[in-house]
A and B are shown apart, each in its own frame.
Chain A
Amino acid sequence: MAAMAKVTEELALVERFRRGDDSAFEAIVEQHAAAVAALANRLLGWPGDVDDVVQEVFVAAFFGLKKFRGESSLRTWLFTITVNKCRSFRFRRLRRLRRVAVEEVTARESRERSGEKAALDQEALAQVRRAIQVLPRKYREIVVLRYLQGLEVSEICELLGITANAMQVRLNRARKRLKEQLGDLLEE
């Protein structure tokens, strides 16, 4: 019932925006900006500064909202835009990120050799983030959307335009890769 009310409220906002009410768009931004920023932050590997991507997402939404048909929720629609913008944004940084990942693996091996048994501290969690970051795009997006954003399977399938089966396959493969990279940390 609450979900129904929410959908109705979103459609009302969109309709108000279509009729020229700018405050409706600002209300949509206020409602979804935090979630969009969080998703962008996770998809881009927690850079901390995702303001540009968030701006781009809402600029695209501003021009695309008039074509929004309400077939999905507004959040899913905004997340789809966010995923696409992050793909473009990340493409420019791909080589640099891979280089960083290699350096981190080297550092971890160095710590293992030194026999240091550190707890799962901040550095280790940062390593988890980097492991997610260096996953291939299709696996990384699934991990972020499913585990970190907590989206439902159906919503992820709609957002990425894939079947549930394909999503499960990707998620399994992503887990396998994470295990390979974070095996030592998980054992601890």
Chain B
Amino acid sequence: MNEEQIKQLCIRADETAGEPPFRLITTAGIRRQVRRRRFVRVAVPASLAAVLAVAAALSAIWMRMGGPQPQPQRIASLEEQVQQLQARTDATLKLMQEVLERDRQDRRLAALETELASIPDPVQEIDRQVDKTAFILVYQADKLYKELNQTESAVAAYKEVIQLFPTNQWANVARERLSQIEQRRLNKSDGQKGEPKWEPRNT
């Protein structure tokens, strides 16, 4: 079997197969094909990406919404956690109420202290009134002695101050006046006349 035999056999086999049908392609057809291929090249990956994005989003929503059905142990654990959270919430609320109550009490105490501070001390007030009364008496006695020249009435008034308010400063003043009056009487009896040298003490 030589080359020519094989060649002829191949040619006969090819001839019996017949001519292949085909369409004549045009430039417009080629351009359409190119446009279609470009579209597919862009659209397929874009569609795939969109589908993947939607699937991911749905998966995320599913995970958030429901997820797998919880097991009884998981339910019990969740209930326990809820109870613990409730107890902690109650304790926190109670503590808050206590803190608020204490704050209210503190504010009330501060208001009372302020009110109390505004009230004058009665002892000091009495002392002030006593001092004032003693002064008035001494003043009137001085007026009797100097202006009205009623020495006896003035001496009586000084003695009254000393009797009523022995520890007061005006009692000392009254004693000083009495001493001066006594001294003047002695001088008068010795033949000396003169006005008293002391002046009423201003308050």
Is the beta-carbon distance between B22 and A50 smaller than 8 angstroms?
Answer: yes
Of chain B, the residue at the smallest CB distance from A182 is B9
Q: Knowing A55-B33, A59-B30, A186-B5 touch, does A30 contact B24 (C-beta < 8 A)?
A: yes
Complex contacts, A178 vs chain B, CB 8 Å: 6, 10
On A, residues with C-beta under 8 Å from B are 22, 25-26, 29-30, 33-34, 37-38, 40-42, 46, 48-51, 54-55, 58-59, 62, 122, 125-126, 128-129, 132, 143, 147-148, 175, 178-179, 182, 185-187
Given contacts A129-B14, A132-B13, contact A33 B24 (CB under 8 A): yes
Q: Which residue of A lies closest to B3 (CB)?
A: A175
The closest CB in chain B to the CB of A45 belongs to B17
A49 and B21 contact, CB distance less than 8 A: yes
Give the top 4 A-B pairs by smallest Cβ distance, nearest first: A128-B13, A41-B20, A22-B27, A46-B17
CB of B7 within 8 A of CB of A38, answer: no
Residues of B within 8 Å of A59, CB to CB, are 25, 30, 33-34
The answer to whether the Cβ of B201 comes within 8 Å of any Cβ in the partner chain is: no
In the complex, chain A residues whose CB is within 8 Å of the CB of B10: 128, 132, 143, 147-148, 178
Chain B residues whose CB sits within 8 angstroms of the CB of A128 once the complex forms: 9-10, 12-13
CA distance A52 to B195 in the complex (A): 154
Q: Report 6 cross-chain contacts, Cβ distance below 8 Å, ordered by A residue.
A: A29-B25, A48-B20, A59-B25, A148-B10, A175-B3, A186-B9
Question: How far apart are the CA atoms of A186 and B12 in the complex, in Å?
Answer: 13
Task: Check B26–A26 contact: CB distance below 8 A.
Answer: yes
* In contact, B25 and A186 (Cβ under 8 angstroms): no
- For residue A182, which residues in chain B have a CB less than 8 angstroms away from its CB? 9
Select from chain B the residue with minimum beta-carbon distance to A148: B14
Of all chain B residues, the one with the shortest Cβ separation from A146 is B7
Number of interface residues of B (CB under 8 A): 28
Is the Cβ of A58 less than 8 Å from the Cβ of B30? Answer: yes
Within 8 A of A (CB), among B154-178: none
Q: Are A37 and B16 in contact, CB atoms less than 8 angstroms apart?
A: no
Which residues of chain B from 111 to 162 have any CB-CB distance to chain A below 8 Å in the complex?
none
**B23 interface residue, CB < 8 Å from A?**
yes
Q: Contacts A33-B25, A125-B12 given; indicate if A50 touches B17 (C-beta within 8 A).
A: no
The interface residues of chain A lying within 8 Å CB-to-CB of B16 are 122, 125-126
Q: Is the CB of A186 within 8 A of B22?
A: no
Q: Which residues of B contact A125 (CB under 8 A)?
A: 12-13, 16
Given contacts A26-B27, A58-B25, A132-B13, contact A175 B20 (CB under 8 A): no
Q: Which of A38, A62, A143 contacts B27 (CB 8 A)?
A: A62
Q: Which residue among B3, B10, B12 has the maximum number of chain A CB atoms within 10 Å of its CB? A: B10
* Least Cβ–Cβ distance between A27 and chain B, in angstroms: 11
Q: Inside 8 A of B29's CB, which chain A residues have their CB?
A: 55
CA distance A137 to B119 in the complex (A): 121
The reply to whether A147 and B25 contact each other, CB–CB distance below 8 Å, is no
Are A25 and B27 interface neighbours, CB within 8 A?
yes
